Amino acid sequence: MANGDPKKPKGKMSAYAFYVQTCREEHRKKNPEVPVNFAEFSKKCSERWKTMSGKDKSKFDEIAKADKMRYDQEMKDYGPAKGAKKKKDPNASKRPLSGFFLFCSELGPKIKSTNPTISIRDMAKKLGEMWNNLNDSEKQPYITKAEKDVPDYKSKGKFDGAEGPANAAWKKVEEEDEEGEEEEEEEEEEDE
């Protein structure tokens, strides 16, 4: 598994999957030098599977049941049960809306009321175009409101001071904002 845990047990296979695997092995033994076109091969396997008797399929059903038992046992030994989730802190702050999303939440209903049949996709395109056509001073109220809407999780006493990637990134954004404000103040002083 490229993305998952390398220690996680190999998944269970269905009776049909075992059948296809057997067919591939037989094909390789009979024709070792012929490459397999999987689309055609799987289509032929599917047709053969549909015409097989229940008795012939039962052999693969038994293999699948044994594999399911293996999988279930390995998963018990592996760790937490499937579906077990880490508890989320109910006091954790939610990610604040960006200026663009505040803009969309304000103008979206207006667009929908003037054109009730507009699709979500078309409305999103229209809002994106409108946002891109705004100049910086027109965007600023939304951006400022987005910055003010940031909940202060640290002040609730639940912040443990961990410097994880999210906290480090947020800290960097705050520092850049402070630097930007200082530069603007210096430019204003120079202009006066």
Q: 25 pLDDT exceeds 70?
A: yes
pTM for this predicted structure: 0.40
Q: What is the pLDDT of residues 171-186, one digit of tens each?
A: 555 565 566 556 556 6
Give the model confidence (pLDDT) of 54-67 as tens digits.
Answer: 888 888 888 889 88
Same fold, 15-78 and 94-156: yes
More confident residue, 82 or 166: 82
Distance CA 49, CA 88 (A): 46
Domain range list for the chain: 15-78, 94-156
Q: How far apart are CA 79 and CA 149, in angstroms?
A: 40
CATH T-level fold of 94-156: DNA Binding (I), subunit A (1.10.30)
Residue 153 CA from chain centroid, whole number: 25
Rounded Cα–Cα distance for residues 150 and 155 (Å): 12
CATH of domain 15-78: 1.10.30.10
